[in-house]
Amino acid sequence: MLPLFEPATPTELLLDEAQAVVKEKTYRQGQQKYRQQVIEHMPQCPFTKISDERLLIASHIKPYQVCMNQNNQTEALDYLNGLALSPTYDRLFDQGYITFLDNGELVCGTQLSALTWQRLNINPNAKNIMRIYPEKRESYLDYHRQFVFLDDVNAVD
C-alpha cells in the first residue's frame, strides 16, 4: 500500500518558506509603487478634497484579488485601476454602495437608507461629479459597475 503523502524534507520546507518571503516582498513593493502612482496622478480625494497622503487610500477599481485570480498582475498594479479616496468613500466604493460613470458622476446604490446617506452628507439624487476626474479608467469603471456595484447602474435614478 502506498502512503497517501510523503512528508516534505527540511530542504523543501526551507525552499517553500524562502519563496513565500520573496513573493511577499515583491507584493509589498508592487503595492507601494501602485499607491505612490495613484496618489501622484490623483493627489486628493475628488469628493472630500483631502490631500494628506496619510488619509488617502489607493482604492482599486477592479479589485486586486480579481486581477490576481485572472493572472493579470499588470492590471492589479496599473495606477489607472485606482482612485485616491478618503476612507469613507473608499469603503463605499469597495463594498459596491457607490460607483462612477465614465464622466466622473457619482452613482449611489439603493442598499443604504436615506438616513445613512444624509449622515454621510451625500445626496444620492444629486448630480455629484468628481472634482478631479482621472481619464483612461473607463474599462476598469465598467468592470466595477457590472460586477462590484450592488445595483444595476441603469436602474438607479
Residue-level pLDDT at 128: 84
Q: What digits encode the pLDDT tens for the residues 11-42?
A: 665 666 656 555 655 556 678 999 999 999 99
User: pLDDT tens for residues 122-132?
Assistant: 999 988 887 66
Strands 57-60 and 98-100: unpaired
Angle 97-98-103 (CA atoms, 0-180°, nearest 5)?
165
Distance CA 152, CA 27 (A): 33
Cell numbers 520573496: residue:
22
Q: Provide block-wise average pLDDT over 10 residues at a time, the chain (157 residues).
A: 64 62 61 95 92 97 95 95 96 97 91 96 88 80 97 83
Given this model, what pLDDT does residue 104 score? 86
Distance (Å, rounded) from C-alpha 47 to C-alpha 114? 19
CA distances to 1, 7, 85 from 4, in Å: 9, 10, 50
Give me the DSSP letters along 68-124: HHTT-HHHHT-GGGEEEE-HHHHHHHHTTSEEE-TTSBEEE-SSS-HHHHHHTT--T
pTM of the model: 0.80
